[in-house]
Structure 1
Amino acid sequence: MNELTSAILTEGLSAQDWLGVRLPEFARGIVIRKDETGIFEGMASAEKDPRKSLHLEEVAVPSPGPGEALVAVMASSVNYNTVWSAIFEPLPTFGFLARYGRLSPLAKRHDLPYHIIGSDLAGVVVRTGPGVNSWKPGDEVVAHCLSVELESADGHNDTLLDPEQRIWGFETNFGGLAEISLVKSNQLMPKPGHLSWEEAAAPGLVNSTAYRQLVSRNGAQMKQGDNVLIWGASGGLGSYATQLALAGGATPVCVVSGERKAAVCRSMGAELIIDRSAEEYRFWKDAHNQDPGEWKRLGKRIRELTGGEDVDIVFEHPGRETFGASVYVARKGGTIVTCASTSGYEHTYDNRYLWMSLKRIIGSHFANYREAWEANRLIAKGRIHPTLSKVYPLEDTGQATYDVHRGLHQGKVGVLCLAPEEGLGVRDEEMRSRHIDAINRFRAPSEQQG
């Protein structure tokens, strides 16, 4: 790998030069193993430890097929689907790989007894397959995680409706938590020049997801003046929702757990904060019964903050724990847009507050290529910033994933793959200097990058 890393750190190599750079037959990657899918059997989700199921192994490097590219991964990051993969919930991912493998001989390569996971990357294209014209070896890129086949008409209005739509690194193999990754060329986007590798790898999945949820015509279609309730507003997903709301002229109502997280939201420019820990909201009386009185208390608190207005949009992702409250607090005609269920998939709410008040629930799942491109463009323009808080080496991905599973993090947790240290890959120092405080907002002072 030394030859490959040295080539990446040498600026000015041409595409032809890159073709002369020898690729290894094997590279390191973070894997889960098919023969270990039962190791957490009988344990509650919260007790499952990703450090026991994630392994750093030497894995074979695939050759790119038609429409595919190999990327030397300088950095990646941990998402909640990394946690799901590691704890084998809601299902072990090997079923996804087997289903994909039945699609075609090319897809069969993904059906392996190990799964290289990860749905973010920043790195350098090192090889392209037949039919790839827009990208060449040496291009510095980030990747979004939507994998589509587009052989069905269903996907040609919104690619997320493709019957063969998958999340790369979760429902496909050869993900981003590795030294070399395999992607489709239509996953690639230009790396923002003012960011380091690890910073550029952080926004992909979550920023694109938040963009579709809030901004896109496929989501809530947020407009200027909207009040937006954002659960987990300083977290990996909510921190981008908060930025998008502020950049779009909306007013975020940020729900957090703790003063430290509230301070992060204020540093982003948010003014309306609800500390659910300090205010002791308990939306469930017990395991089976919710407390509508707590919904009403939350609604009253929101109106105190907004000057008497309910929220136009609820940015939902916790799921079971909060969904009943989310449906209740949205204004008449308002929208609840949901992309995940990190606290549980079985949602319970009082339907009277939905149908009689003409509210809408919109399901949103990642983003299509155009939405991801627009979200990345906002990063490149310095309108939205990465929320990287901590970076681990590849061999410590288990600990990084444990942190996210336990909620010990803020923003995003990054992982260095081929990058030998943090802070590399910056191409536009002047732009970086204009935004350095925002880039470092989630970092501890001792970890801030210049």
Structure 2
Amino acid sequence: MDALTEAVLSHAPAAEWKGLEPPGEYLAAHLRATDVGGFPPGADRDVRTTIHVGNVPMPELAPDEVLVAVMASSINYNTVWSATFEPVPTFSFLERLGRQGGFAQRHDQPYHVIGSDAAGVIVRAGAGVRRWNVGDHVVASCVQVDDQEPATHADGMLGAGQRIWGYETNFGGLAHYAVLRASQLLPKPAHLTWEEAASVMLTAATSYRMLVSDKGARIKQGDIVLIWGASGGLGGYAVQLVKNAGGIAVGVVGSESKADLVRRLGCDVVLNRAELGVGGDRELTPEQTVEQGKRLGRAIRGALGEDPHVVFDHVGKATFGLSVFVVRPGGTVVTCGSSTGYDHHFDNRYLWMNLKRIVGSHAANLQEQWECNRLFRLGLLAPVLSEVRPLAQVGEAARLVQRNEHLGKVGVLCLAPKPGLGVTDPERRMALDPERHNPFAALRQAAS
């Protein structure tokens, strides 16, 4: 172990190690350009075969960047997209970024360090970094923006230079070290462990923008919100946000075990799509969409007497027609992704004749992420971390998400030697309801 890593893990004061040089290379989960095109047509694109854990060179730091010693990270669905090279290989993103020249050239490598979440300690800060210092405990925003682009100052997500770190850029968070822009940093909630803090920002902030922000559905007290995939990372935070806003959460899950967990999380109505026979993994015909939409609508009205005001959809091709059909007249379908496919089909009559809205949403700007992170610091949102794997098992962790065999978020320990570390405000942690620290872990234990 190098001297800097040793010093950070020993909890020595930053003043004692801030002069130590970072290692010349570091351990990272990465993809290799030589693996692109290696999956035969129709084959199971098993992410365990393309995610490699090994040493990569330490990149040079730009003036507006920081080097973070990553204590923990987590798996997001873009990890699966990256490792399956679908819909496009991420090396095309890195090549395009590298063509900008300057420090951007560093990203165009024959390896891609992946991961869009991280919690850790700043160990180096570029000359242009003003608001952060070596030794600060931080969590990462997954969004990089060009702050010299005018559109960014209206909404960071509208800028042409907006990229998802660790997916459309190199040097991501599933590693011992990560390179981030200072404009990606947020203070780590002091009562959370490293792995808890590393499991929240991408999915929770995405759900926040979709539901709460004025850029999304803008939910309000009494709104009925249908949440596809309520037991996943996005869905688990969506349930909490709806309940915090005084809304009525209707969760859709794929099994009775998941249904029980979501009920315990506080979801008002839980629908098992397997029992109801709706929203499978394949695209529906127009006739099937109407048939299943009526079935889903009857189930919601039977429980609540009304149709949903908002539908929270990230499943895509297999559910989107149902979402448009089932939302009430004047209601909103908000979408942030398409895990079952991007080519959505729906009957436009149900949209235009009933004055419904479709809102596209992608990640969250820094202000939205700051507000979302504040909810964690206040204890009003809790992580939905179900299990933690070491960095050596990152392929297995990603495979769980690829096969939808996980609950909530799957965490990955990077430099942290074991779970449960990183809490710097134990009094705050003890003052909160213990089950609110990480309800999915507690619920899973109760269900087992």
Q: Which residue of 1 aligns with 2:134?
A: 137
Answer with 280-289 or 317-326: which moved more: 280-289
C-alpha change, 1:287 and 1:309, in structure 2 (3 Å) is closer
Q: Which residue of 2 aligns with 1:295?
A: 293
The letter of the residue matching 1:162 is G
Separation of aligned partners in 2, 1:284 and 1:20: 53
Deviating beyond 4 angstroms after TM superposition, the runs of 4 or more aligned structure 1 residues are 282-290, 444-448
The letter of the residue matching 1:299 is G
The 5 Å alignment of 1:39-118 reads: 39-43=38-42, 47-118=44-115
- Percent sequence identity over aligned pairs: 50
The 5 Å alignment of 1:264-413 reads: 264-281=261-278, 290-291=287-288, 292-306=290-304, 308-413=305-410
Separation of aligned partners in 1, 2:334 and 2:302: 23
Which residues of structure 2 form unaligned runs of 5+? Answer: none
**What secondary structure is seen at the aligned counterpart in 2 of 1:31?**
strand
Deviation of residue 39 (structure 1)?
A: 1.2
Separation of aligned partners in 2, 1:443 and 1:316: 25
Deviation of residue 155 (structure 1)?
A: 1.6
The letter of the residue matching 1:168 is W
C-alpha change, 1:283 and 1:257, in structure 2 (3 Å) is closer
Are 1:284 and 1:290, in contact at CA under 8 Å, matched by a contact in 2? Answer: no
Are 2:4 and 2:17, in contact at CA under 8 Å, matched by a contact in 1? Answer: no
Are 1:335 and 1:359, in contact at CA under 8 Å, matched by a contact in 2? Answer: yes
The letter of the residue matching 2:7 is A
Deviation of residue 36 (structure 1)?
A: 0.7
- Find the partner of 2:180 among 170, 183, 190: 183
Separation of aligned partners in 2, 1:447 and 1:131: 46
C-alpha change, 1:353 and 1:268, in structure 2 (3 Å) is same
**What secondary structure is seen at the aligned counterpart in 1 of 2:331?**
strand
Separation of aligned partners in 2, 1:215 and 1:420: 36
Q: Which residue of 1 aligns with 2:150?
A: 153
**What secondary structure is seen at the aligned counterpart in 2 of 1:325?**
helix
Give per-residue Cα distances to partners, 1:237-259, cap 9 Å, x unaligned: 11000110011111111111112
Residue 423 (structure 1) aligned with residue 420 (structure 2):
yes
Are 1:197 and 1:423, in contact at CA under 8 Å, matched by a contact in 2? Answer: yes
C-alpha change, 1:4 and 1:445, in structure 2 (3 Å) is farther
Length, aligned pairs only:
444
Residue 223 (structure 1) aligned with residue 232 (structure 2):
no
Deviation of residue 444 (structure 1)?
A: 6.2
Are 1:382 and 1:435, in contact at CA under 8 Å, matched by a contact in 2? Answer: no
The letter of the residue matching 1:387 is V
Deviation of residue 430 (structure 1)?
A: 2.0
Are 1:158 and 1:368, in contact at CA under 8 Å, matched by a contact in 2? Answer: yes
Give per-residue Cα distances to partners, 1:55-96, cap 9 Å, x unaligned: 011011112112100000000000000000000010000000
The letter of the residue matching 2:395 is G
C-alpha change, 1:290 and 1:32, in structure 2 (3 Å) is farther
CA RMSD of aligned residues (A): 1.7
Deviation of residue 439 (structure 1)?
A: 2.3
Deviation of residue 102 (structure 1)?
A: 1.0
Which residues of structure 1 form unaligned runs of 5+? Answer: none
